[in-house]
Chain A
Amino acid sequence: MRKIWVVAAREFNVAVRSKAFLISLVSMPIFMVGSLVVQMLIKQNEDKSDQKYAVIDRSSSGAYAKVLESAAARRNESQLVDPKTGNPVQSAYRIEIVPPASGDAATDEQRLALSDRVRKGELEGFLEIGPDLAKASEGSLPVLDGRRRPINVENDRAAVKFQTDTPLKDEFPNWAVSVLHAVVMQQKSSAAGITPQLIEDALRPVPLVVTRLTKRDPQTGAIQAAKSENRALSLLLPMGLSLLMFMMILVSTTPLLNSVLEEKTARIAEVLLGSVTPFQLMMGKLLGMLGVSLISVALYLGGVYFAAVRYGFADSIPTSLIVWFLVFQSLGVLMFGSLFIAIGAASNDAKDSQSLITPVMLLATIPFFVMVSVIEKPNGGLATGMSFFPFASPSIMVMRLAVPPGIPTWQPWAATALVVATSIACVWAGSRVFRVGLLMQGKSANFAQMLKWVING
C-alpha cells in the first residue's frame, strides 16, 4: 500500500505541476464562457446593411406586393435600432416590385434573370406571390396535432415561393409570409363578416405556467407557494454536469496514457517493476490521477456553487446530486483510466495508441448521443437502460439524477455496484495487459493480443 502511495504521489505531483494541467484547468471555463461571449459578439456584429429583395405579385390586383413594400417601410423606420442603446439590431429590407411576366416560357426566363441577379449579389433573393393567395390552399393546412400535411407547393397557386442562394437565412421570407398571412386573414374574415379583432382574440393562446410541487414548510407548517420552474437551469444542470464528467475523464485519463507511454518508451518501467508489482504501479497511477481530477472538480463545482449562492439558485442543486457526481466521476476515472493505462502499455508509441484509443473514446461519448432523450424522459426505457451500461453509467445516471423529479433511489446504488464491478474488472484486466505490455518493445499489440494477455496473464 505504501508503494502505491509513493507512485500516486509522484503521478499527482507531476500532473498538478505540469503546465498542461494549469492550462486545461483555466482554459475549460474560459472556453465555455468564451464561446458564449463569442456567439453574442458575432450576433451583435453580424452584417446589418440593407438587404434587397425582388417581389413578383401574380395576384390580379397586385396589391400584396404593395402591402409588403409598405410593411417593410414601417419596419425599417421603427425596428432597426435598439431603442435604448441606439445600436443597429437588424437589417433594413428594401423591396423591389417586379411586374410578373406572362406565359410559362417568359416566367421561367424572368426567374432565371432574377436568379442571375441574386448570383451577382444585387439581390438577396426573390419572392413570388401566387395568384390565388386568398383562396384555400391545397396544402399547408394546419391539422389538429400541429403538424402540416405533406404537400407539394411547387405549383400551388395559393403559395408564396422564395428563391435564394442562402436558404438557411430565412428571416425575410418568414417576415414576408407573416405579413401576407395577416392580410389574407383580414380579407377572409371580412368576407365572412367577422371582425379581425375577433379572430385575434380567438387565436390568442391560452397562457401556461409551469411550477414545481407545492410543499409544506417543515418548521412553520405553512404551505409554501410553489416555485416557478427555471427551465434553463433544469436543462443546463444535467447537460453541464455530464459535460463536466466527460471532460474530467478525458483530462485525467489522457495524462495517464502519456505517462505509461513515457515509462514504456523511456524504459522506466523496468526499473519500476524491479521495485513494485504491476498492480501496485497501476493502482498508484490511477489513484494519483483520481486525486488530480477530484481537485479540478472541486475547483469547478466550488465555483458553480459560489455562483449559485450568489444568484440565488443554490437550492436547485441538491447536495445528494453533488455527492453522486463525485462518486460516479471517481469510478469513471478508475474505469476509463485503467483502459487507457492498458492501451498505453500495449502501444509502442503515441501514434499507435491513437488507433486503440478511438473505440474507448467512443464508449466515453455514448452519453452525448442519448443526452436529449435522457433529459426529456429521464425515466424512459432508453435512459434507464443506458444508465445501467457501465461505461455510460456515470454520465447518464448523473444526468438522470439532475433532471427533476429524480429517479428511484435504488437505481444509482445498483448502477454504482455495476460500475464498481466493471472498474475492478477493468483494473484487473488492465493490470494484466500492463504487466505483459510494459516490457514488450518493438511493436504495438491489437485488441486480440491484449485479450490474450488478459486471459493468459
Chain B
Amino acid sequence: MPAVEIHEVTKTFGSHTAVDDLSLEVPEGTIYGFIGPNGSGKTTTLRMIMRIFHPDRGRIRVLDQDATDTGAADDAVAYLPEERGLYRQMKVRDVLRFYARIKGMTDPDPEIDRWLGRMGLEAWADKKVQALSKGMSQKVQFIATVITRPKLVLLDEPFSGLDPVNGEVLREAVLSLRQEGTTVIFSTHDMSVAEKMCDAIFMIYKGKKVLNGTLEQIQDSYGEDTVRVRLAGESASSLNGLPGVNRVSDFGRYQELQLDRGTDSQAVLAALMERGEVRHFELSRPSLLDIFVRIAGADSYENQPEDSHA
C-alpha cells in the first residue's frame, strides 16, 4: 500500500494552473525527494497532501484514507512548511507541547526531552522562542514536526539556511526516521542532497511531472551522454566549439561536456587531445543537477527567486 496516492490531480489558482493532471505514488517507508524550480507546484502538491488545499480535479489518498476533500490531515501525517512558524512569545517546551497535543499526543514531555537532548537544545527548553538563533528554531520546528512519531512526514526545504553542522544533525534525524519505518517526502533545491538521500526522486515543472523514479532509473533514461574531462593548465573557455558537444559546464577542477545524441566519444577525445594534455577523461551519466538544468533551464536553478505564490 502506498503512503500517498495522487491520481490525476489538477489545482488552479485563478487563471494559474499550479498542478496539472498529476499522478504519483509514494511507497511506504521510502525517502522521496521532490525537486523543481520555484513556482513549479512543489509546495502546492505538499499542501494538497496535507489537505490545506483541495484539488479541483482528481483524487488523493494519504495513508489509505481519502484526503481529497475538507477536513484536517490525519494525526499520523506531519508537515514542516518551507516558511518556519513558531510562536515567538512562547517557551520552547510550551510550543512543542502545543504542537504535540494538537496532533493528539497526551503526554509529550518524555519525547520532548528526548528530542531536545538529541538536538542539543536541553538548555533552551524554558527559553522563549524569540531568543533562539535561526538554526536552533529550525531544529525546534523539526522536533515539533516529528515529535508525535508520524507515519508520513512532509518536509518542505528542511535543510535550507542551515549551517553544515546543523544540516548534518537534521540529515541524520531524517535518515533515522526512515529506519523507524516513517515515509519521508521532502522538497529540496539541493540536488546533491536529493542524490545522496532519496530512494526516489520526483521532479515537477510547470505543474507537470517531468521525472519520477530512482536516481538510476532517471539517469539511465538519459544514457551515458556526459564526459568529464580535465586538461592540464587549460580553462573551460578553451573547450568551446568542440564538434558534437552541446554544452560545457565548468566545475572548476573538471569540466563536464554534454554530447549531442549520436556523437562518438572517441572523436571528442581526439579533438581534446589536439587542444591540450588530457589528464582525465571519463564517460558518465548526467548528474541530477545536470538533468534539472536541462529540463528547466540554467536560470531556473541559479536565480531561484524568493518563494512566490504556491
**Chain A contacts to B: CB under 8 angstroms:** 2-3, 6-7, 10, 14, 18, 262-263, 266-277, 280, 439, 442
B144 within 8 A of A: yes
Residues on the A chain within 8 Å of B309, using CB = 442
- Which of chain B's residues 88-103 have a Cβ closer than 8 Å to chain A? 88-90, 98-99, 101-103
Whether A267 contacts B102 by the Cβ 8 Å rule is no
A3 to B104 CA separation, bound complex (whole angstroms): 8
Q: What are 30 A-to-B residue pairs whose CB atoms are below 8 Å?
A: A6-B98, A6-B101, A6-B102, A10-B98, A14-B87, A14-B89, A14-B90, A262-B87, A263-B85, A266-B85, A266-B87, A266-B88, A268-B85, A268-B87, A270-B47, A270-B52, A270-B83, A270-B85, A271-B80, A271-B99, A273-B50, A273-B72, A274-B72, A274-B78, A275-B79, A275-B103, A277-B72, A280-B72, A439-B47, A439-B52
Q: Contacts A267-B83, A267-B85, A268-B87 given; 7 further ones with Cβ under 8 A?
A: A14-B87, A270-B47, A271-B81, A271-B85, A274-B77, A275-B72, A277-B72
3 closest residue pairs by CB, A with B: A268-B85, A267-B83, A274-B79
For B, the interface residue count at a CB cutoff of 8 angstroms equals 30
Residues on the B chain within 8 Å of A266, using CB = 85-88
Choose one: A3, A268, A269, A275; the contact of B86 (CB below 8 Å): A268
Residues on the B chain within 8 Å of A268, using CB = 85-87
Whether A275 contacts B73 by the Cβ 8 Å rule is yes
B252 within 8 A of A: no
Residues on the A chain within 8 Å of B102, using CB = 3, 6-7, 272, 275-276
Whether A269 contacts B103 by the Cβ 8 Å rule is no
Residues on the A chain within 8 Å of B50, using CB = 273-274
Whether B75 contacts A275 by the Cβ 8 Å rule is yes
Whether A3 contacts B98 by the Cβ 8 Å rule is no
B164 within 8 A of A: no
**CB closest residue in chain A, given B97:** A10
B15 within 8 A of A: no
Whether A271 contacts B79 by the Cβ 8 Å rule is yes
B71 within 8 A of A: yes
Choose one: B52, B78, B104; the contact of A273 (CB below 8 Å): B52
Min CB gap B143→A, angstroms: 12
B303 within 8 A of A: no
A439 to B13 CA separation, bound complex (whole angstroms): 13
Residues on the B chain within 8 Å of A3, using CB = 72, 102
**CB closest residue in chain B, given A264:** B85
A8 to B83 CA separation, bound complex (whole angstroms): 24
A442 to B99 CA separation, bound complex (whole angstroms): 26
A270 to B102 CA separation, bound complex (whole angstroms): 14
Whether A267 contacts B81 by the Cβ 8 Å rule is yes
Residues on the A chain within 8 Å of B81, using CB = 267, 270-271, 274
Residues on the A chain within 8 Å of B101, using CB = 6
B84 within 8 A of A: yes
Q: Which of B75, B77, B84 has the most CB of A within 10 A?
A: B84
B70 within 8 A of A: yes
Min CB gap A32→B, angstroms: 29
A442 to B80 CA separation, bound complex (whole angstroms): 21
Min CB gap B32→A, angstroms: 18
Whether B72 contacts A276 by the Cβ 8 Å rule is yes
Min CB gap A231→B, angstroms: 48
Min CB gap B121→A, angstroms: 18
Min CB gap A113→B, angstroms: 68
A267 to B86 CA separation, bound complex (whole angstroms): 8
Residues on the B chain within 8 Å of A442, using CB = 309
